[in-house]
Amino acid sequence: MKNSTKTLRLILGDQLNANHSWLLKQDDTVTYVLMEIATETNYVSHHIQKVIGFFAAMREFTEYLKSKGHKVHYLSLSDTNNLQTFEKNLSCILEEGNFSHFEYQEPDEYRVDLCLKNFCSTISISHSVVTSEHFLSERTFLSQFFEGKKTYLMESFYRQMRKNHSILMEGKNPMGGKWNFDADNRKKIPVNHFVAPPLLFSNDTSAIEFEIKQANVKTIGNVDSKKFIWPINRSQSLTLLSFFVKHCLPLFGTFQDAMQQNQWSIYHSRLSFSLNTKMISPKEVIDAAIEAWENNQNEISLNQLEGFIRQILGWREYMRGVYWAKMPTYANLNFFENKKPLPAWFWTGKTKMNCLSQAINQSLEHAYAHHIQRLMITGNFALLAGIHPDEVDRWYLGIYIDALEWVEITNTRGMSQFADGGIVGSKPYVSSASYIDKMSDYCKNCHYKKELKVGEKACPFNSLFWNFYDRNEAKLASNPRIGMMYNVWQKMEQTQKTALLNQAENYLIQINEL
């Protein structure tokens, strides 16, 4: 490219990668553009902390770029020149700035990818696309790895990623003699166990909140914008990473599936927002965890480390691979043909079921819940109740600060709701009250009784569990992983079956009063 070429480079709000090769040297012929736009705030109702978090991180990143001598064009939400879409803003900036070349990084969301491809087909100047240089696998790696297969087994993908990147390997064999230490990682938090408070930041984002409200952006959830708790730049993200490997990693694996009242973070890293905005990379997160383990094997056992790395190297990369292998049809899959609307209390947390009250109120308060709360509390109930996956998707995509479609929809429509019919998970993840009680202390303070299956105070999860299997028998009975459940169901007395199904039907009729 000749020096006389004027280039405009678009950086999206989830592409805040300070180590991208674009940024290695300052170039006066290049201008970077970042924009806060209505189309990105309005496609679902987002948590107020999510909108603030992205805008704050984008503004911090802009100041970083300027400090390195880069030219930056930033459009805030309230800017009078903001036309509120990528296409309109880019067209205007390209023309007014007399740019001769346009570049962007591969978006992680299908709709944005399509938007920018369509935009580039309308412009007369040259354009090019580069990778975001963030992930540890290419977009197409998973689809090529599982070519010809109907199901995509995460464990196979994860093992290949371990081999490809020589992570926790001893030659060709897994360190410790096992690929997966998940069996060691399913413990409930003991009574009187002290969980240290999480590291929270105190960013003043009140000006951004004011702009969001002035623009009439519809949001959900709560925020103290004068003490915004999430990291909004690379420095804070690295501080949170350091805190995690020192204070949380030693018990992360053991309690990664545990849930406890009034403990919203436990030993989880809460790095997903920093990762998904690319303020930090998966490689440096993995490297930091391994270094902490190598330097402190007396306190950090291999099962803690492996459980964490499996989430970053395995699950996160796997979900992205499934997304790009199956979109856009994936967004419309509804294997069980579920049609019910989401209960109103999903937006308020006002339910007598303590487990759901805890998980939802925590989500409204902090824009966060860990993976078991998402899978086995809110997701479990939605699947048992037959909620339409579109409704479930919109809720998860809006309420969590780390939710971007590439990672949300595959977790929700795939793992949680089994709406993909088994591409991601080999069985539906549903449970009665017994699992929730096993992994949490939620049941002890609940209006409902975990041990009751029928009656006025019977836990709704118990009858809805059997109702789920009964109504979906034609689709699930041949699944070898859940045959045992149908054996139990078939051996029940007919009177017991009828009582359970009637109980479930009554609960579904009055679902908004549960």
DSSP-assigned letters across all residues of 438-494: HH-SGGGG-SSBTT-SSSTTB-HHHHHHHHHHHHTHHHHTT-TTSHHHHHHHHHS-H
Residue 34 burial (CB count, 10 A) = 22
- Helices 302-309 and 282-295 cross at an angle (nearest 10°) of 180
CB 39 within 8 A of CB 85: yes
Place of tokens 């017991």: 496
CB 256 within 8 A of CB 185: yes
Q: Could you tell me how many helices (H) and strands (E) the chain has, helices first?
A: 23, 9
Q: What is the token pair recorded at 290?
A: 């391994």
| Domain 141-204+213-326: CATH class, spelled out | mainly alpha
Specify the fold of 344-513: DNA Cyclobutane Dipyrimidine Photolyase, subunit A; domain 3 (1.10.579)
Q: What pLDDT does 489 receive?
A: 93
Report domain extents, the chain.
7-130, 141-204+213-326, 344-513
Q: What is the token pair recorded at 128?
A: 């090019």
CB 507 within 8 A of CB 351: no
Question: In this predicted model, what pLDDT tens digit does every residue of 323-333 receive, in sequence order?
Answer: 999 999 999 99
Place of tokens 């309690």: 255
Q: What pLDDT does 187 receive?
A: 87
Does the structure show a pLDDT above 90 at 8? yes
Question: In this predicted model, what pLDDT tens digit does every residue of 188-197 receive, in sequence order?
Answer: 899 889 898 9
Q: How far apart are CA 275 and CA 123, in angstroms?
A: 32
Question: In this predicted model, what pLDDT tens digit does every residue of 351-364 receive, in sequence order?
Answer: 999 999 999 999 99
CATH number for the domain running over 7-130: 3.40.50.620
Sequence-distant contacts of 302-305: CB under 8 A, at least 24 apart = 302/168, 302/175, 302/176, 302/181, 303/181, 303/184, 303/185, 303/253, 303/254, 304/249, 304/250, 304/251, 304/252, 304/253, 304/254, 305/168, 305/249, 305/253
pLDDT (mean) for 423-448? 94
The torsion angles phi and psi of 205, rounded to 5 degrees, stand at -115, 20
Peptide bond preceding 328 in cis form (omega within 30 of 0): yes
Does the structure show a pLDDT above 70 at 246? yes
Phi-psi region of 155 (alpha: psi -120 to 50; beta: other; left: phi over 0): alpha
Question: In this predicted model, what pLDDT tens digit does every residue of 104-136 receive, in sequence order?
Answer: 999 999 999 999 999 999 999 999 999 999 999
Which of 394, 9, 339, 319 has its CA nearest to residue 161? Answer: 319
Quickly list H helices, 68-109.
Answer: 86-96
Question: In this predicted model, what pLDDT tens digit does every residue of 429-440 receive, in sequence order?
Answer: 999 999 999 999
Q: Would you place residue 297 in the very low, low, confident or very high pLDDT band (cuts 50, 70, 90)?
A: confident
pLDDT (mean) for 485-503? 94
Question: In this predicted model, what pLDDT tens digit does every residue of 368-404 receive, in sequence order?
Answer: 999 999 999 999 999 999 999 999 999 999 999 999 9
* Mean residue pLDDT across the chain: 95
Residue 223: half-sphere exposure toward Cβ, Cα within 13 Å: 32
Q: What pLDDT does 248 receive?
A: 95
Q: Would you place residue 2 in the very low, low, confident or very high pLDDT band (cuts 50, 70, 90)?
A: very low
Cα first-last separation, the chain: 64
Question: In this predicted model, what pLDDT tens digit does every residue of 396-414 receive, in sequence order?
Answer: 999 999 999 999 999 999 9
Which residues 6+ apart lie within 8 Å of 423 measured at CB? 150, 151, 152, 322, 326, 330, 414
Q: How far apart are CA 281 and CA 268, in angstroms?
A: 17
